[in-house]
Amino acid sequence: MRRTLEPRILNGLLLLLYMGAIAAANLLTPDKPISESENRVLEQRPRLSGHALLTGRFMSDYERYATDQFAFRDAWAGLKTDAERALGKKESNGVFLGKDGYLLERYTSPSEAELSARIRALRMWDQAAPRLNKVVMLAPTAASLMADKLPAFAPVDDERADLERIRRQLPRDMRFVDVYAALDAKREQSLYYKTDHHWTTQGAYYAYRALCEQLELVPLDEAAYDIRQATDEFYGSLYSKSGFRRLRPDRIDLYWPKKSGKLQVTYVDEGRMTDSLYEPDRLDDKDKYAVFLNGNHAWVRIAGDGPAGKNLLVVKDSYANSLLPFLTSHYGEIDVVDLRYFDQSLLELTENRNFQDMLILYNIRTFFEDPSILNLAEEST
C-alpha cells in the first residue's frame, strides 16, 4: 500500500525548503549600495565588535541591514503594493495614488513653533543684510494645487492658508511672490510631474513670470524658447517613495533660449566648470531630474548673459534647479547656495559679491521640514 506524507509533515518540509531557498538567495545575492527604485542608500553589513554587541547596536544595525539587503526585495515590495492597490488602498508612505496616474504627497501644516522659528530666521537675515532686495517664493505642492486629483477624503492640510500666514509675517521690505495664484491660473496645463514632487519645466516657467513681477524684470515669452523633450522615461521621487507601480513615466522638457550668449557654470566646491545649466548625461541615471543643474550642490556660480554688474543670490532647494535657466538672461552673475550643504558664511559671501537681489526659493514642504533654513538666523548673530 502506497504511503503518503501527512499534510502537516508536507507543510513542514515545504516551509523548510522555502526558508532554505531564501537563506541561500540572501547568501548568494551581492549587497547593493543603493536602491534605484527607492532612490536611497541601503544599509551595509555592520562591523562586529564587543562594544556594539554589548550595547545592542550590532543587532539593530544588522536588522536594518538584513531588511535592506533581503533577496528580491524590490519584487516583494512591488507585490505588496500591488496587493494593497487591488484591495483599494490609495496611500503608501505618505503618498496618495490620485486620479489620472498622479502621485500626490501628503502635506501637514507646521506647528506655530516651526512657523515662528522660520519667520524669525528670515527677519534676522533681513536685518543682517539690509541692502539686499529680498524676494521669497514658496512653491505649493501638487496635492494643493491639484486637489481634484486626490482620492476622496484624503487628509491634506491647507497650504494656501499657510502661505498666507507666512506672507503676513514677513518683514515689510521682504517681498513675497504669490506663485500659488500664478500656477492656479494655468492649472489645466502640465505644471507638475505625475511621479515626482517637483514642478515641470513649464510650471517653473510660469513661476519665473510671477517672480519677474516682484523683481521688476521683463520676462521672456515662451515663444522665445526652443522647447525640446529630453526624455519620456522619468520615474520620480514619489514613484520611488510610494512603491506604487504600473504607472506611466513622465516626460522632461528643456527650454533652450533661441537667442542667448555663452554661459559659464562653476561648481565652486568641486572646481568644475561647464557651459550649460543642463547635464544631459544625468538622463541615464535613475534621478533624471538631475539634468537640471546636475542635481543639488552647495554652491554654484553662473556667469549669465544679462547686464554686467547685475548680480543675484539664490538660496534654494531643488525646485530652483529647473527655474534658474530662465534667469540667466536677466543677470550677469548668479550665485546659487543650498544651505543643506553650504558650510561657509553666507553673510560674508553677500558682502564680498555685492549682490543687488536675493531670491529665497523653496517648496513649502522643504521650507518647513528642512532645518537648514534656520541657518539664516545663526548667520545674523
pLDDT, tens digit, for every residue of 196-251?
999 999 999 999 999 999 999 999 999 999 999 999 999 999 998 898 988 999 99
Higher model confidence: residue 325 or residue 93?
A: 325
Grid coordinates representing 65 are 541591514
For 206, phi then psi, to 5°, come to -70, -30
DSSP 3-state assignment of 246? coil
Strand 34-35, strand 40-41: pairing = antiparallel
For residue 73, what pLDDT is reported? Answer: 57
On the question of pLDDT at 131 being above 70, the answer is yes
The DSSP result for 292-350, as a single string, is BTTS--SEEEEE-SS-TT-EEEEEE-GGGGGTGGGGTTT-SEEEEE-TTT--S-HHHHH
What number of other Cβ atoms are within 10 A of residue 347's Cβ? 15
Distance CA 213, CA 208 (A): 9
Q: Average pLDDT for residues 138-164, to the nearest whole number? A: 95
Cβ neighbors of 27 (< 8 A, separation 6 or more) are none
- CA distances (Å), origin 40, targets 241, 286, 287: 9, 11, 11
In which band, very low, low, confident or very high, does the pLDDT at 39 lie, cut at 50, 70 and 90? Answer: very low
Distance CA 335, CA 318 (A): 15
pLDDT, tens digit, for every residue of 60-114?
766 776 666 655 556 555 666 655 555 557 899 899 999 999 999 999 999 999 9
Grid coordinates representing 366 are 522643504
Cβ neighbors of 182 (< 8 A, separation 6 or more) are 206, 207, 209, 210
On the question of pLDDT at 381 being above 70, the answer is no
Nearest to 43 by CA among 34, 30, 52: 34
Cβ neighbors of 112 (< 8 A, separation 6 or more) are none
pLDDT, tens digit, for every residue of 13-35?
767 776 666 566 566 677 666 55
pLDDT, tens digit, for every residue of 253-301?
999 999 877 899 999 989 999 999 999 999 999 899 999 999 999 999 9
What number of other Cβ atoms are within 10 A of residue 369's Cβ? 13
Higher model confidence: residue 38 or residue 319?
A: 319
Residue with cell 555685492: 354
Q: Classify residue 312 as exposed, middle or buried by CB count within 10 Å of its CB (0-12, 13-18, 19+).
A: buried
In which band, very low, low, confident or very high, does the pLDDT at 57 lie, cut at 50, 70 and 90? Answer: confident
For residue 41, what pLDDT is reported? Answer: 53
Q: What pTM did the predictor assign?
A: 0.82
112-128 and 159-169 helices cross at what angle (nearest 10)? 40
Distance CA 332, CA 330 (A): 7
Task: Write down the mean pLDDT value for the chain.
Answer: 88
Q: Give the containing element (helix H, strand E) for 74.
A: helix 73-86
